C-alpha cells in the first residue's frame, strides 16, 4: 500500500493538546506502516487566535516528539502551500465553482430569521437545522435581497438521501438527511469556514485516509458529499477519503480532556521532563495495543504493528500515574550517558550548571546519573535528587523542617562521630565510607541504620531522601562532605 496519504492539520492557537498529539501519532504510524505519506499542514485561518509563535511551537513540538513528516512546512512537497492562510485564492475559486455547478447556493437569511425558524421547528419537534428556504431562489429574489443590503453566505446543498459510510474504527454508519442539513461554506464577509477549507485541502492534496478525533464524527456525513462535488467540478484528485474517528481521551470527572485541564497540554510534559518516546508510548495505549499485553515498545515497533482497524472505539481514560510509570520505564531503558545529556537542561534551568558543563561537572553528572536512574519518573526530578552535588558552597542549604527533625541532641552526636570517622579516611570511596560509618555509628554507637544515617544524609544533601548515601559522599568529595557535616554543628549552635 504505497498510495496511502494521511494528514495532521492542527491550528496554531497555543499549547498542543495531548489528544491532538495522539492523533498525530496514529496518523504517523499508519503512514509508516503502509509505506504511505504523512502530510503536516497548518489550519491558520483564524486571525484572531492564530499566531506565528504558536506556528513555530507546532513545528518545534512535532520535531521534539520525533514525528517526522513527508510533506509540509520546512519540508515542502507537490501540494503546497501547507498553510491555509496562503490558500485563500483557492478556496474562493472552489466556492465559485460549487455555486456555478449547483452544488452550493447563496442564502440571505438574517440571524434573526434563522433563529425564529429554528425555535419554531424545535417547538414542533422537528430538526432545527437549516430548512432550505433559500435553496432555490430566483434571480429576482436574490436581487431583492441584495437591494436590501443583505450579504449572503454560501451553503452546500446536501443530497436528500441517507449518508452511509464505513468508519475505519466504528464500522458502518448511517446519517438520515433530516439530521444533516445544508451548512455554511463561506461567511457573508467572504471568510471560508473549516467546512470548506478542510475538505478542499484534503481533496487537492490527495488525502486517502482521514484519522481524526471522535468529536469530528458529525462533520463526516457533510464532508463526504462535498468530496463527491469537488470531484464533479474538477477540484479533487478523484479520491473520497476513508474516515476513521479515534476515541475521546477522557480526563478528570470522566469528561473529555481539555487543553485547560492539568496535563492537557503538551508543554506541561516537556517542562516536567517526560521523554518524547515515553509520552508517545503511553498515548499509543489510549485506544490501541501492540498485543500480547506489551506496554513498552519503540515508535518503529509501533509503526510496524499499527493497524487502524485495531483501534478501540471506546473512550480512553488518561491516567497521569500510568503515564509517569511508562515514562519511568523508558528512562531506565536509556544508557546512562544518554540520560545524563537529557538531564542537563533541567539542571541548567535551575541554575545548578552554566551554559556549558565544565569537565568536572560533566564527570560528576556522568557518575551520579546511575544513582538516580532507577528512581526517576520524569527528568525534572534530577534537580531535587542531584542538586546537592552541583549547588555552590555558599548557596547550599538544608531543609529547615528536616534539620529540626535530624539535628536533635542525638542527631548532632551522630554528626560529630561521623566527622571523626571520615576525617582521615583513606581511600575516599564508597566501600571505605560505608565501612567507616557502619563501624562508627552502628557498631560503635549501637544505632539502627535509619537513626544512624538520617542526620548524615540531611547534613550533606539537605534532604531526608537522596540518592544512596555512601555513593553520594564519594561523589561529593571529602572536603565538601566534611564541610557540610561541620556546618550542621555550627547551625545547631
The kind and range of the H/E element at 163 are strand 163-167
Contact 199, 230 (CB under 8 A): yes
Mean pLDDT for 200-207 is 97
Percent of the chain with pLDDT over 70: 98
* Domains annotated on the chain, with CATH: 5-73+249-317 (3.40.50.620), 87-246 (3.90.800.10), 334-391 (1.10.8.70), 400-492 (1.10.10.350)
Best CA proximity match to 311, nearest among 105, 30, 100:
30
Q: What pLDDT, on the 0 to 100 scale, is given for residue 253?
A: 79
Q: What pLDDT, on the 0 to 100 scale, is given for residue 393?
A: 86
The pLDDT tens digits of the residues spanning 112-142 come to: 999 999 999 999 999 899 999 999 999 999 9
The answer, yes or no, to whether residue 407 has pLDDT greater than 50, is yes
Q: What is the 3-state secondary structure (H, E, C) of 29-59?
A: HHHHHHCCEEEECECCCCCCCCCHHHHHHHH
Kindly provide the b/e burial profile for residues 373-394, where b requires at least 16 CB atoms within 10 angstroms of the residue's own CB.
beebbbbbbbbebbbbbbeeee
The answer, yes or no, to whether residue 260 has pLDDT greater than 80, is no
What whole-number distance in Å separates Cα of residue 1 and Cα of residue 322? 35
- β partners of residue 209: 242
Contact 372, 386 (CB under 8 A): yes
Q: What pLDDT, on the 0 to 100 scale, is given for residue 52?
A: 85
**What 3-state class would DSSP assign to 6?**
strand
Best CA proximity match to 108, nearest among 140, 74, 152:
152
Mean pLDDT for 90-113 is 97
The answer, yes or no, to whether residue 193 has pLDDT greater than 90, is yes
**Is 259 among the annotated ligand-binding positions?**
yes
448 is catalytic: no
The answer, yes or no, to whether residue 47 has pLDDT greater than 80, is no
Q: What pLDDT, on the 0 to 100 scale, is given for residue 90?
A: 97
Question: What's the pTM?
Answer: 0.92
The pLDDT tens digits of the residues spanning 19-39 come to: 999 999 999 999 999 999 999
Mean pLDDT for 239-259 is 89
The pLDDT tens digits of the residues spanning 294-327 come to: 999 999 999 999 999 999 999 999 999 999 999 9
Q: What pLDDT, on the 0 to 100 scale, is given for residue 96?
A: 98
Residue-averaged pLDDT of the chain: 94
Q: What pLDDT, on the 0 to 100 scale, is given for residue 258?
A: 76
Taking CA atoms, 288 is separated from 25, 220, 246, 307, 316, in Å, by 11, 22, 10, 9, 10
Q: What pLDDT, on the 0 to 100 scale, is given for residue 2?
A: 53
Mean pLDDT for 80-108 is 97
The answer, yes or no, to whether residue 335 has pLDDT greater than 70, is yes
Check 97, 256, 259, 463 and give the catalytic one.
259
Enter the C-alpha cell of residue 391. 549547588
Q: What pLDDT, on the 0 to 100 scale, is given for residue 45?
A: 83
Mean pLDDT for 353-373 is 95
Amino acid at each position: 500500500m504505497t498510495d496511502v496519504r494521511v494528514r495532521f492539520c492542527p491550528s496554531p492557537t497555543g499549547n498542543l493538546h495531548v489528544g491532538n498529539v495522539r492523533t498525530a501519532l496514529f496518523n504517523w504510524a499508519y503512514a509508516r506502516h503502509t509505506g504511505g505519506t504523512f502530510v503536516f499542514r497548518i489550519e491558520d485561518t483564524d486571525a484572531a487566535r492564530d499566531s506565528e509563535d504558536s506556528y513555530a511551537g507546532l513545528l518545534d513540538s512535532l520535531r521534539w516528539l520525533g514525528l517526522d513528516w513527508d510533506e509540509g512546512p520546512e519540508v515542502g512537497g507537490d501540494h503546497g502551500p501547507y498553510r491555509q492562510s496562503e490558500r485563500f485564492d483557492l478556496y474562493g475559486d472552489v466556492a465559485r465553482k460549487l455555486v456555478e455547478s449547483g452544488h452550493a447556493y447563496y442564502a440571505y437569511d438574517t440571524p434573526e430569521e434563522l433563529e425564529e425558524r429554528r425555535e419554531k421547528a424545535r417547538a414542533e419537534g422537528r430538526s432545527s437545522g437549516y430548512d432550505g428556504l433559500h435553496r432555490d431562489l430566483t434571480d429576482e429574489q436574490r436581487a431583492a435581497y441584495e437591494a436590501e443590503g443583505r450579504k449572503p453566505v454560501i451553503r452546500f446543498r446536501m443530497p436528500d438521501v441517507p449518508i452511509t459510510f464505513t468508519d475505519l474504527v466504528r464500522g458502518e454508519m448511517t446519517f438520515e438527511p433530516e439530521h444533516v442539513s445544508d451548512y455554511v461554506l463561506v461567511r457573508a464577509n467572504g471568510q471560508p469556514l473549516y467546512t470548506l477549507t478542510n475538505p478542499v485541502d484534503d481533496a487537492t492534496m490527495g488525502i486517502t485516509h482521514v484519522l481524526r478525533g471522535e468529536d469530528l464524527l458529525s462533520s463526516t456525513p457533510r464532508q463526504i458529499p462535498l468530496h463527491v462535488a469537488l470531484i464533479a467540478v474538477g477540484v479533487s484528485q478523484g479520491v473520497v477519503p476513508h474516515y476513521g474517528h479515534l476515541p475521546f481521551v477522557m480526563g478528570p470527572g470522566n469528561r473529555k480532556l481539555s487543553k485547560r485541564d492539568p496535563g492537557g497540554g503538551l508543554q506541561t510534559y516537556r517542562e516536567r521532563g517526560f521523554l518524547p518516546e515515553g509520552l508517545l508510548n503511553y498515548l499509543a495505549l489510549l485506544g490501541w495495543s501492540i498485543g500480547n499485553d506489551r506496554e513498552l515498545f519503540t515508535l518503529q515497533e509501533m509503526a510496524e504493528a499499527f493497524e487502524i482497524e485495531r483501534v478501540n472505539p471506546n473512550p480512553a481514560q488518561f491516567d497521569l500515574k500510568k503515564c509517569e510509570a511508562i515514562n519511568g520505564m523508558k528512562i531506565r531503558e536509556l544508557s546512562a550517558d544518554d540520560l545524563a545529556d537529557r538531564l542537563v537542561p533541567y539542571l541548567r534551568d535551575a541554575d545548578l550548571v552554566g551554559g556549558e558543563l565544565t569537565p568536572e561537572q560533566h564527570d560528576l553528572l556522568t557518575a551520579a546519573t546511575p544513582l538516580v536512574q532507577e528512581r526517576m519518573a520524569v527528568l525534572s526530578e534530577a534537580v531535587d535528587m542531584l542538586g546537592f552535588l552541583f549547588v555552590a558552597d555558599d548557596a547550599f542549604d538544608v531543609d529547615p523542617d528536616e534539620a529540626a527533625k535530624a539535628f536533635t541532641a542525638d542527631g548532632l552526636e551522630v554528626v560529630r562521630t561521623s566527622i571523626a570517622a571520615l576525617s582521615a579516611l583513606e581511600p575516599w570511596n564508597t566501600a571505605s565510607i560505608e565501612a567507616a560509618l557502619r563501624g562508627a555509628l552502628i557498631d560503635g554507637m549501637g544505632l539502627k541504620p535509619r537513626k544512624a544515617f538520617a542526620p548524615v544524609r540531611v547534613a550533606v544533601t539537605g534532604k531526608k531522601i537522596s540518592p544512596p548515601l555512601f555513593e553520594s559522599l564519594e561523589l561529593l568529595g571529602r572536603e565538601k562532605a566534611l564541610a557540610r557535616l561541620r556546618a550542621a554543628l555550627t547551625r545547631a549552635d
